[in-house]
């Protein structure tokens, strides 16, 4: 039995407006972001979603709250869906932070974590998901690290390929997590 996962990024934040890499800072949605979150809700409320899992960082939690306010769909917050922790570099200009992103594939950011560590957090979330949600359709609201975790552990995309790729935002990605899918063998 498989679990269907729909992934959406958190809505546009004030830090996105300023060109900052928020990382593990909470962040807040901008006016544009609140409108996009409402649009996400209109797009997904009747999409067969049984539960919403959102990163516990404020910008993702705020996206979920706006999108699913007034619905019976449960919204659950999970720290394992957070963005990569840039440590001392949380909140710095995104262009400068990502100039040498490949350097931090395995080496943690100063006082933070590596991209591989962030993606491993997502794996632990995926390992737990079928325990309660097998055969269901869930929505995950997260960040770049969240999507990379889904791409890596479910679709088998190498992190070395993801680190250099453009994020290419769009309205949702769809994944199928099969019970027999052996994610743990991938490195």
Task: Return the active site residues.
Answer: 10, 83
d(C-alpha 89, C-alpha 70), whole Å: 37
Write the DSSP string, 147-175: HHHHHHHTT---HHHHTTS-----S-EEE
Which residue in 6, 8, 3, 1 sits closest to 170, CA to CA? 8
Main-chain dihedrals φ then ψ at residue 105, nearest 5 degrees: -60, -50
List the structure tokens of 11. 């809505």
Spatial CB neighbours of 35, under 8 Å, sequence gap ≥ 6: none
List the structure tokens of 138. 């869930």
Q: Are 147 and 169 in contact (CB under 8 A)?
A: no
Q: What are the residues facing 45 on neighbouring strands?
A: none
Which residue in 155, 144, 90, 145 sits closest to 120, CA to CA? 145
């Amino acid at each position: 039995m498989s679990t269907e996962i729909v992934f959406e990024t958190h809505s546009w934040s004030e830090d996105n407006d300023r060109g900052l890499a928020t990382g593990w800072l909470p962040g807040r949605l901008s006016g544009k972001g609140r409108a996009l979150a409402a649009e996400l809700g209109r797009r997904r409320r009747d999409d067969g979603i049984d539960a919403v899992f959102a990163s516990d960082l404020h910008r993702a939690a705020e996206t979920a709250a706006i999108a699913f306010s007034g619905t019976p769909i449960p919204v659950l917050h999970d720290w394992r869906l957070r963005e990569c922790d840039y440590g001392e570099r949380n909140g710095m200009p995104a262009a400068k932070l990502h100039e040498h992103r490949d350097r931090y594939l395995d080496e943690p950011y100063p006082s933070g974590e590596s991209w591989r560590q962030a993606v491993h957090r997502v794996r632990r979330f995926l390992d737990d998901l079928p325990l309660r949600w097998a055969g269901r359709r869930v929505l995950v609201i997260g960040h770049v690290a969240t999507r990379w975790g889904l791409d890596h552990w479910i679709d088998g995309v190498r992190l070395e390929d993801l680190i250099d790729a453009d994020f290419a935002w769009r309205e949702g990605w769809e994944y199928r997590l099969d019970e027999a899918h052996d994610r743990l063998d991938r490195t």
